[in-house]
Chains A and B, each alone.
Chain A
Amino acid sequence: MEFKKILFPTKFRELAFNSLESILELKKAGLKEIVLTYIIPRDEVGFVPYGGYMKDEEERLREQARIRFENWQEAVSVEGIESKVRIEVGNPVPKLLRVAEEEKVDLIIAGRKKRTVLGKVYIGSHTLELVRRSRVPVLVSKYMVRFECEGDLITRVNDHIFTAPLLATDWSEPSEKALKLVSSFKELADKVMVTHIIGVKISKGLDKSELNRIEKESKERLEEYCDRLKKDGINAEPHLFSGRSAHEIIRVARERKASMIVMGTTGKDRFKEFWLGSVSHRVTEESELPVLLVP
């Protein structure tokens, strides 16, 4: 499993180009082509009340995007990676998913929210919807974020994001896929931190012997994951913790200086997520690190 073709959608917000630059190193992991995509929201140009459609505005936005992409394409081609431009009009998320399907991409890159609220979420509703609905992995890149740590306001630049990924696994099928994906990072990653959290929901109410059994079993599984990565030539170390899953993953990633978090996601819809919660989506929203979600 490799990232040969990537969809890079953008709204041309600040640092979008830096975000693009930060993923070019995926060439070492087999990246061949990037599809640079700009979706002109239909509501921006269409349905002018009692007016109709602003064709001129659409043309202007298209031209503006084309010129910017031309510049970006030069930078991409310098790295020996092919690129393609798609400028479409539509509802952003459904249109992006459609373009991803048409282009048969292996990965979608999603950006962070423009203004981050201290201690709150780093991604907007569009990104969250994309993450929920995508059938291909989504990397929420978060090139530059600000966060509060022990009372200090820290600005973090997330470049070289593939050097020390933290693979958070719950032993599910998507986690298994995530493991296979991480295997393709051998030219990029110095080490992979394979992590499992024994969640509160599981440990609550269990007696000590039962907890010990789960702990032993988890350790064995973690070792198995690490062995598989080592077999693929990647240095891996196991980490086992207990507590609130999302909170622990974010904490461990920060403490162990991970460069990104990789997780499987079961793709809960909004309704199920509201009632059951989603660890992967919460981590994506709240961690200051880039998060790669594998469905």
Chain B
Amino acid sequence: MRLGKWIAIIFLLSIFAFLVPAMATDHDQEVAATHDTEHGSTHGLEHAVSETGHGEDAGHGGHGGHVNLGETLPLWSCIPFACMLFSIALFPLLAPKFWHHHFGKISAFWAACLGIPFLIAFKGVAVHEILHIILADYVPFIILLWALYTVSGGILLKGTLRGTPMVNTIIILIGTILASWMGTTGAAMLLIRPFLKANNYRKNRTFMVVFFIFLVANVGGSLTPLGDPPLFLGFLHGVDFFWTMKIMPHMLVTAGILLVIYFFLDTYHYKKEGLTSAPVEEGVKEPLKLVGTHNFIFLGGVVGAVLTSGIVNWGEVNTLGIHRAMQDWSRDGFLILMGILSLWTTSKRLREDNDFTWFPIVEVAFLFIGIFITMVPCLLILKAGLKGELGFLIAAVKEPVHYFWVTGALSGFLDNAPTYLTFFNTALGAFYPGMPEAQAVPLLMTETSIYLKAISAGAVFFGAFSYIGNAPNFMVRSIAEEAGTSMPSFFGYILKYSLVFLFPTFVVVTLIFF
């Protein structure tokens, strides 16, 4: 009953909170209308466009954004978004069992806290904004993750491997390379079980899994939009497919440093454990074999579909008032086809041997619908640039180094996908306020590319900083713990590993590139 009262209070406060700025907007519009009548300004037209919910959905899945609404919305309209992210950060720590069984409801609650008052207050514009983020961002985002997860779940590495420092380093290196092409989740899921099996005779496996998370589940995914969700969101908003290759030097430095550290650390432990001679093999030695390799064809299909959607222009189609490019819908359809073909052509037994389960992807789908809906006001305010209530943030975050560290620091403790989108919009607001996304993003990729590099590298690299930085982190942790590898606590991971190994590495990256 007490919980019910709190829910009701939060809900009522949300509605009240939105009605106030909505009334203020009405007042502003009245003033603006008078002003326009007097001076024939086009400003009033912008208002009208926003009000009817037919704002420009410029170009490649992006949109011009209702700048006016962003200028009007109060900062506390971002509270549901913050609460959503803090729920993700705190519930798994404080009440894991409750969270495990109710995360969907919690996500729906925060989405409703934003969505319902937002719809009551801003009606058509709110519908348009919410539909836009769902159709242009959430749907393709989830479809890509689902396709990569499904296809890579059909590939199984079988056989007996002996986890020596060299073999382990090579596995992590292969995973780091694969991550950009099959997604950090796909690469991590493909290799984590063989990696753990290869090292089940080793006493200290914790650091191995942590470095696996650093490199395969995060840093490795920085080269293409397929690699890490933040980069795909950037792609959806107009960043070229191969532009992310510009992160290669940053990635090579980071991965190089971490791999060298890993090798020496593993060698130290290997010797300390007295494992210089070959361990006695238990059971029959099975040769290494990759099963379900036909799924690489579907993986190629995924890469091809995403790449093609960034190159061709087949016109636009209006879906529920949202303009989306035909090639984007085609890409999404093709990705679903690749997933279905993978499911159809891969034996059930193979997926079972891979311990394949839909649960992680369902979790991501439930949580991200909450994240995407609650982040609407935050993105609008950021897009308004200095005129929005987050103008102080835009004013404070000026240099590339700021973007790298602020995007990174928040990515480490909140999921990196929404964080990327937040600072992507911060940069757009700072450099090109009011300019449609289709025009602003190409400029961000060229004129001010160092900022986009800083945001991209920050979001992807810092995703490794904690378990909650990126979705594959918790999947790898879960599989490792189930297999009997003890993993550090949330704070243990940060204090013993992230601060010791990642932090100095990122300082080096900063000194070299930003």
Contact = CB atoms under 8 A, between A and B. Distances in A.
Q: Is B truly associated with A?
A: yes
Given A91-B352, A91-B357, A94-B352, A49 B482 contact: no
B359 A48 contact: no
Contacts of A43: 357, 359
A52 B481 contact: yes
A54 B97 contact: yes
Interface string A22-51: 000000000000000000001101111111
Interface string B343-358: 0000000001001010
* Interface size of A as a range: 10 to 19
A174 B89 CA distance: 55
A91 B355 contact: yes
Contacts of A47: 357, 359-360, 363, 474-475, 478
Given A46-B478, A47-B478, A52 B359 contact: no
B357 A54 contact: no
A42 B367 CA distance: 20
A57 B92 contact: no
A133 to B, nearest CB: 8
A48 B99 contact: yes
Chain A interface secondary structure, helix, strand, loop or mixed? mixed
B468 interface: yes
Interface string B333-376: 00000000000000000001001010110011001000000000
Interface string A109-126: 000000000000000000
A42 B363 CA distance: 14
B477 interface: yes
Interface string A41-78: 01101111111111101100000000000000000000
B482 A53 contact: yes
Interface string B255-284: 000000000000000000000000000000
A243 interface: no
B467 interface: yes
B487 interface: yes
A49 B475 CA distance: 8
Nearest to B481: A53
A89 interface: yes
A97 B115 CA distance: 46
A130 to B, nearest CB: 13
* Interface size of B as a range: 20 to 34
Interface in A63-106: 89-91, 94
A287 B369 CA distance: 43
A231 B482 CA distance: 54
B27 interface: no
A90 B99 contact: no
A52 B478 contact: yes
Nearest to B476: A52
Contacts of A89: 482
Nearest to B100: A48
B468 to A, nearest CB: 4
Given A43-B359, A57-B97, A48 B352 contact: no
A51 B352 contact: no
Nearest to A269: B348
Given A42-B482, A89-B482, A51 B357 contact: no
B96 A51 contact: yes
A144 to B, nearest CB: 29
Contacts of B464: none
Contact of A90 (B103, B355, B467): B355
A48 B478 contact: yes
Contact of B103 (A49, A53, A54, A58): A49
Nearest to B469: A50
Contact of A49 (B93, B355, B367, B487): B367
Contacts of B91: 51
Contacts of B99: 48-49, 51
Contacts of A58: 482
B467 A50 contact: yes
Contacts of A55: 481
A49 B100 CA distance: 7
B88 interface: yes
B92 A51 contact: yes
Interface in B61-115: 88-89, 91-93, 96-97, 99-100, 103
A51 B367 CA distance: 13
Interface string A148-177: 000000000000000000000000000000
Contacts of B473: 50
A47 B96 CA distance: 11
A46 B88 CA distance: 16
26 contacts: A42-B355, A42-B357, A43-B359, A46-B359, A46-B478, A47-B357, A47-B359, A47-B363, A47-B478, A49-B92, A49-B99, A49-B100, A49-B363, A49-B364, A50-B92, A50-B473, A52-B92, A52-B467, A52-B477, A52-B478, A52-B481, A52-B487, A53-B477, A53-B480, A54-B97, A91-B352
Given A49-B474, A50-B89, A89-B482, 18 more contacts: A42-B357, A43-B357, A45-B482, A46-B481, A48-B478, A49-B92, A49-B103, A50-B467, A50-B473, A50-B474, A51-B91, A52-B92, A52-B487, A53-B477, A53-B478, A53-B482, A58-B482, A90-B355
